[in-house]
Amino acid sequence: MKLTFFLLTAALAFFAACSGVSTPPSAKTAEFKVWGNCGMCKKTIEGSLKENTGILKADWDTKTKQMTVSFDTLKTSLSDIQLSIAKAGYDNVAFVGDSAAYAGLHECCQYTRK
């Protein structure tokens, strides 16, 4: 009885470990430039993608201004991601940031626009 319980517990633990979050086959990673300045910008830029259920991982580098995003192509697109960032007030390679959102950014986050 103890051996059966032990084997059943071990099997369940094994299957639980193997069934962790995995990357879907439709996942894609993209990198693109997003203008901004600081850690507050990082929080806002990455936060602008929270509502997008297709985002697997998002990271904006304050030094290089590069956004690296992994996403499920069945749930979202690169264009949708870039548009969400622009709506938060941040220019990127595809869209100009929303002017009203840009004006509402903290003073240190108002980067020099092109």
Q: Lowest mean pLDDT: which of 32-36, 42-46, 48-52? A: 48-52
All domains in the chain, ordered by first residue: 24-109 (3.30.70.100)
The mean pLDDT value for 15-44 works out to 83
The pLDDT, as a whole number, for residue 47 is 96
pLDDT at 16: 47
Q: What percent of the chain has pLDDT over 70?
A: 81
Residue 75: φ, ψ to 5° = -110, -20
Distance CA 60, CA 46 (A): 7
Q: Give pTM, 2 decimals.
A: 0.79
The per-residue pLDDT for 24 is 82
**With 50 as the cut, is the pLDDT of residue 19 above it?**
no
Q: What confidence score (pLDDT) does residue 21 get? A: 57
Segment 59-114, tens digit of pLDDT: 999 999 999 999 999 999 999 999 999 999 999 999 999 999 999 999 999 999 87
Structure token pair of residue 68: 């690296």
- Return the higher-pLDDT residue of 21 and 38: 38
Residues 6 or more apart whose Cβ sits within 8 Å of residue 92: 32, 33, 34, 35, 67, 82, 85, 86
